[in-house]
Structure 1
Amino acid sequence: MKKNLLLAGFLISIGTFAQTAEERAVIKRNINSTELANLKMKFDKEYQDQQIKIQAYLLANPTAKKEFTIGKNFYSLQRIDADGNPIYINTKDANQVANAKVNSLYQGGSIGVNITGTNMVAGVWDGGQVNASHELLAGQVTMQANQPLNSTGGNNHMQAVAGIMVGKIVTNSSNPLASTARGLAPNATAKTYDWDNDLAEMTTFAADGFLISNHSYGAANDNTIPVWQFGAYDFSAKSWDMLLKNTPNYLPFVAGGNEQMSNGNMSAAGFDIMTGSSAAKNVVTVGAIDLDNSMSDYSNWGPTDDGRVKPDLVTLGSEINAPLYAGNNTYTGVVASSSGTSYAAPAAAAAGLLLQQYYKSIFGNYMKASSLKALMLHTADEAGNVGPDAKFGWGILNVERAAQTIKQMQSGGSAKLVEFTTNPANDSGAEINTTGIAGGGAARASICWTDDDGTEQTSANGLNPAGGRLVYNFDILFRQPNPFIDTRPFAPLSVSNPNALATVSTAWFGNSVDNYKQANISSTTANSNLIIYIRKASTSPAAVRNFSVILTGLKITSATLSTADVKASKNVVFFSKDDLKIKMISNDVSASFGEYKIYDMSGKMIQSAKEKSNEISFNVKTNGVYILVYQTKNGSETFRFKL
């Protein structure tokens, strides 16, 4: 079961750590510093206003407490909601390395590298302080300025979270438990904060160019929480997305919570209990599984009220050997009480650090947050129901498969990641498209973006309102022309029947709630073309929103994803010679089309040849939409045209 222990202690601070200044400078160039400064002032003001409201509430309710412990869970009064209700948050309490296959990145692992978190920095927000003199964390963590000791003093929960993320490898301990308590990113470091005023502090952390943070706490989810808030996109979820839309590289990991068996929404039978930040669109919400990869009896289930997949993924959270606060070589051991989504979330966050480091070692830059999230969900192991579900999300974290996918993104590999900085028109019809060559097995396409904050749910909306909270809405179609197969992403989960099998959308924008979407072709014909189309819904803002696309299961990925309409206006001119013949002429007279194929929209190949000039004659008897796939000196290009 989910547990954490609280023991008194005193924090010892150590020196600060950072990614290289050059790396952070590159990330900071993508951040609107003025907007973040304004957000920090907004969050600071909201925090101060809440402190006044909390004091007033405590004075008016003498039996109420700001902080208390039930069993081994620490509770803290976070805010007073718009209806005057107290909102409490609480803590969400190897072999995680093996379970998540993180050791594939270590020296001697299957990827053939030595990625351990060097120069990577995590943010850790939690309900107390760490003992930075503990042998597992000495030299690994630093408590940030203006983090006063709270009434609980030292905190076993925060000690465990930090140890799971960045605990170093200890080889000379007098305690044999030290050897199995190492962190997943043992050469990374952590900046630690208490959870008071977390959003303002996260704003500064992200503005400094850091990439990942962990948050193993959340709403208490007991009877003090109004029922409408379960599954709701409330004030907290909206505020987190408001921050993250302005920080395109920053990705927080949030524990999904441990109230499956006892919560304030028990009529939902364990479903519909994601609250606050765990219901935000732009975070990675993490659930917990047991040692045998079965669902734990504590991890919270989704979906959200609008049918979004939550949790996003799961990883091992049960019976984790973790460091204790009191003493410098003390550990929990592998016991049932050392379990919870609190322990799963930092494992996933540490995995994110390692994947960022590995990607940077190959490509020279870090992934956008939307790319890292897409990668981790794209490569998760199937679990629970086929497709996404409300218990396991997109599946079990598999770092080895994610790292293999990064490795395959290199030139000529079978995977591709493209981070788009252009959009199709927001008319639900204009398209971006590309092709790849099928490898003969399964193929997968994922699309993800960091969305704007959506419309806040309040008590006035009642229980489980169905309206989606997306602001931008992109969709993806995966086509195999020969034989003709169209594959769309999964549809939203059913809020009324949350244990139902996932279904696949049957039309464009059949999923208008999730900002991560996945389309799968179970079997492809080797060497056939795969065509990927992307559209932007007319409900989306016209302003460009960056998004990420990952493709796997290809034989080659020489094609570059690009906006076809833009390329056509510059590179290819169409004109009619008569009713039966069309000429396509490249504006680049030095170029030739090379080998080309033309398909109709049913996937039937109409014409193919090798062309040594910059002109193609196309014999056609039927007006319609056609697809030209041709080779240039720079690789394969795709163009969609209408006659």
Structure 2
Amino acid sequence: MKKHLLLISTLAVALVSAQNNDALKREFERQNKENNAKFDSYVTKVYGNDKSVETQKKIEELRANLAGFSGDVPNFYKADDQNQILNNNVDALTTAGGVNGLSTAFKGENIKYTIFDGGRIYAPHVAFSNATGRITNLEAATNAYSAHSTGVASIIGAKSSPLTATSNGVPISGNAMGIAVNSTMDSYMFATTTLPNAITTSTVFDKILIAQPKISNHSYGTNPGWDYKTTADGYPANGWYWGGNYISGTNYDLQGTYYTSDQSYDAIVYNNPSYTIVKSAGNSYGFGPGYSGSTTTSYYYNGSGYTAYPTGTAPVANCSQGYDCIGYGSLAKNIIVVGATDIITTNNYRYTDALDVVKSSYSSAGPRDDGGIKPDIAAPGTDIWMASTAENTTGSETWQINSGTSMSAPQVTGIIGLWMQIYKSLFNNAELNAAAAKTLMVHSAAEAGNVGPDPWYGWGYIDAKKGAELLVGKSNNTIIFNNETLTSGVTNAKSIKASGGTPLKVTISWVDPEYKITSNSWATLYNYRNSRLINDLDVRIIDTTTNTVYFPWKLNANSPMTLATKGDNTVDNVEQVVLDNPVAGRTYRIEVTNKGTLVNNAATPVLTPQNYSIIVTGYNEVLGTKEATNTASGIIVAPTLTKDIVNVIKAPRKSTFTVYDLSGKKLQNGVINNEQETINLSSYTNGVYIIEVKTDKDVISKKVIKE
């Protein structure tokens, strides 16, 4: 029966996702046409009638890597360039018995990563020679191999590869071994290309829908602030170019701005909630005229070409105040964005406390302009050993040491893939979905920087071992780690007894509908502080003895470098409440509620329950939960798989019931007058429904499937 239930539920989700993805494909096609038209206008203004082969080649390269526009200014995708494994505690997962409760080693068996990067991965590289077929290139063979793509793949899954090199005349050694050494990887380019056997081009968003991954790495991004350009890049002179607009003496930019590509990533994950996207934060911290002894020459786009800034009018350096230099496309709500840190070299390369973690100087900082926490997490990104190749269609076997958030992102990708493998092992091949993956990552993160989240490290420093321990805790019921559903206006509540001596900690996250960008005006986009959330869930811990309410972390959008505070978070689709010193044995109630109305991402949104993931630690007894089948009040809704009849059992007389479909539409309601009240669903089509029961003390809801 359970397998049958899973099959029906999975099929229903798959059909809805396919329909929604078709609509997304049409939207991406519209965006692509619009961007190409704007790019054609830009080319005419910048390059004029230059029809030389060299110029035309450069124009097509730029078109392929077009990421969008800041007003009339185009932005282009660019790559965000064995001690880290010890820093992250990955070796605990890849060693049998390294995590209590896991008797085997987990090295990525039967886990496929999809890599979207600057070119093809050099599959014959010895780094991937421990098994056949580890790398599958899905782009045309006419595209060059990429050193960057090959390096990213090796960070995720290269076999043990001890190496030596010389730095400033001093011999150094390392190991380029990746995280998931027995995994497989599919390789796509982030550029717009024509895939084999296709007749039209595909953007990176099109390719995601084609690939249908479970987890993917995206070590690239945009820099809509200051960036250094050269004549080789197609610019009129070597110097610093402003990626924003200069209008009537005022400089605008899209750093920190939730924009169309963020909307696209969020829509993809909302339609495909089992899919986890990991993306680099960028490497533009501090960029600007004079950066690191560079030229102070600066240019901006005036609508018809590039011109030098008048003296004293150029913008300040990116992240000049310590924050706000992550480009759009890395600010989506439903993806995981990764900042970079230096390698921890103390204590045998192990993390011991927050002071061990040092932000890499180049790593771009958040938050999103509404105060949403970005990056989400930090990982080592400086001086990482990795595989490399000649960048042509022949390829070669080389190695390099590189730095960038491009190097930190695949470590997080690799770790989450191992968590997915462990989850499958512990829970009958079930999938760790996007919301659960983020909840697990945030709840298990080690503190870095300030207490609580911040614009440099997000929620902290990734800890592979702690995440695995939480999965074991779920399997033996010593923690709460559930996927749950919130019905609009209904409170999901759990009562627990705190263990004491350890913090009581609750983390939730959810895949939120995309925020639809409706204006391209600078007044609307620049430093826009209004929340980009659609469904605003809230989590609280209530002390049932004193009635004290404990709130989640949040950042101040106008002063994000100040310490995070605790209050009503209206901008993040991750919320975490931490009670540092709960009273041992005291009862606390955990409540999940929502503001406004929960809706879906349809063109005309309709009332829809919101799925979310929750983790609770720091308790030793669960007293009751309103969302469970058999609640603390003893009410039972059964069976949950039926052809026609569902029974509400042991509900108090005069209670009421309501039946909703998944859009939130009320289908029927009634009063409960019997110990076992019968609800007839025979007139409804097959699918998923929600039955809500209200008593004078409780409101509970339960999903049922009519087959």
TM-score by length of 1: 0.77
Query: Which of 303-312 and 289-298 deviates more?
Result: 289-298
- Alignment counterpart, residue 30 of structure 1, candidates 13, 24, 34: 13
How many Å separate the matches in 1 of 2:20 and 2:285?
Answer: 38
Describe the SS at the equivalent of 1:479.
Answer: strand
Task: Quote the residue 1:385 is aligned against.
Answer: 450
- In structure 2, list runs of 5 or more residues that go unmatched: 1-5, 192-202, 227-240, 245-251, 289-314, 345-356, 600-606, 637-647, 656-671, 677-694, 702-707
1:501 is displaced (CA, Å) by 0.5
Native 8 Å contact 1:163 1:183 kept in 2: yes
Task: Quote the residue 2:219 is aligned against.
Answer: 216
How many Å separate the matches in 1 of 2:576 and 2:133?
Answer: 37
Aligned ranges 1:23-422 → 2 under 5 Å: 30-31=13-14, 32-62=17-47, 77-81=65-69, 83-108=71-96, 109-111=98-100, 112=102, 113-138=104-129, 139=132, 141-147=134-140, 149-150=142-143, 153-170=144-161, 180-196=175-191, 197-206=203-212, 210-221=213-224, 222=226, 223-226=241-244, 227-262=252-287, 266=317, 268-269=319-320, 270-292=322-344, 293-326=357-390, 329-333=397-401, 338-364=402-428, 365-413=430-478, 415-421=479-485
- Alignment counterpart, residue 464 of structure 1, candidates 501, 515, 527: 527
1:204 is displaced (CA, Å) by 2.1
Native 8 Å contact 2:38 2:72 kept in 1: no
Native 8 Å contact 1:79 1:86 kept in 2: yes
**Residue 513 (structure 1) aligned with residue 571 (structure 2):** yes
How many Å separate the matches in 2 of 1:307 and 1:517?
Answer: 13
How many Å separate the matches in 2 of 1:571 and 1:243?
Answer: 42
Q: Deviations over 1:364-398 (max 9, x none)?
A: 20122101101101110111111111111100001
Native 8 Å contact 2:535 2:597 kept in 1: yes
**Residue 571 (structure 1) aligned with residue 636 (structure 2):** no
Task: Quote the residue 1:9 is aligned against.
Answer: none
Distance 1:147 1:374, change over 3 A: farther
Native 8 Å contact 1:216 1:342 kept in 2: yes
Native 8 Å contact 2:552 2:578 kept in 1: yes
Distance 1:558 1:187, change over 3 A: farther
Native 8 Å contact 2:279 2:338 kept in 1: yes
How many Å separate the matches in 2 of 1:141 and 1:420?
Answer: 36
Distance 1:179 1:186, change over 3 A: farther
How many Å separate the matches in 1 of 2:574 and 2:184?
Answer: 29
- Tell me the amino acid that sits aligned with residue 417 of structure 1: F
Native 8 Å contact 2:318 2:325 kept in 1: no
Q: Deviations over 1:166-203 (max 9, x none)?
A: 21235899999997111111111110101121101111
1:349 is displaced (CA, Å) by 0.5
Query: Between Structure 1 and Structure 2, how many residues are aligned?
Result: 543
Distance 1:148 1:408, change over 3 A: same
How many Å separate the matches in 2 of 1:328 and 1:363?
Answer: 42
Distance 1:558 1:367, change over 3 A: farther
Describe the SS at the equivalent of 1:331.
Answer: strand
How many Å separate the matches in 2 of 1:317 and 1:94?
Answer: 12
- Tell me the amino acid that sits aligned with residue 552 of structure 1: T
Native 8 Å contact 1:257 1:300 kept in 2: yes
- Tell me the amino acid that sits aligned with residue 199 of structure 1: F
Query: Which of 478-487 and 176-185 deviates more?
Result: 176-185
Q: Deviations over 1:557-580 (max 9, x none)?
A: 47556077995985342789xxxx
Task: Quote the residue 1:487 is aligned against.
Answer: 550
How many Å separate the matches in 2 of 1:479 and 1:357?
Answer: 35
Task: Quote the residue 2:298 is aligned against.
Answer: none
How many Å separate the matches in 1 of 2:176 and 2:483?
Answer: 37
- Alignment counterpart, residue 616 of structure 2, candidates 551, 563, 577: 551
Q: Deviations over 1:589-634 (max 9, x none)?
A: 9xxxxxxxxxxxxxxxxxxxxxxxxxxxxxxxxxxx9979xxxxxx
Query: Which of 401-410 and 266-275 deviates more?
Result: 266-275
- Percent identity, please: 26
Describe the SS at the equivalent of 1:159.
Answer: helix
Task: Quote the residue 1:501 is aligned against.
Answer: 563
Distance 1:442 1:84, change over 3 A: same
1:97 is displaced (CA, Å) by 1.1
How many Å separate the matches in 2 of 1:478 and 1:189?
Answer: 42
Native 8 Å contact 2:377 2:462 kept in 1: yes
TM-score by length of 2: 0.70
Cα RMSD (Å) = 3.5
Describe the SS at the equivalent of 2:387.
Answer: coil
Q: Deviations over 1:515-538 (max 9, x none)?
A: 000001112223332311111111
- Tell me the amino acid that sits aligned with residue 207 of structure 2: E
Query: Which of 557-566 and 218-227 deviates more?
Result: 557-566
How many Å separate the matches in 1 of 2:165 and 2:553?
Answer: 52
How many Å separate the matches in 2 of 1:130 and 1:412?
Answer: 42
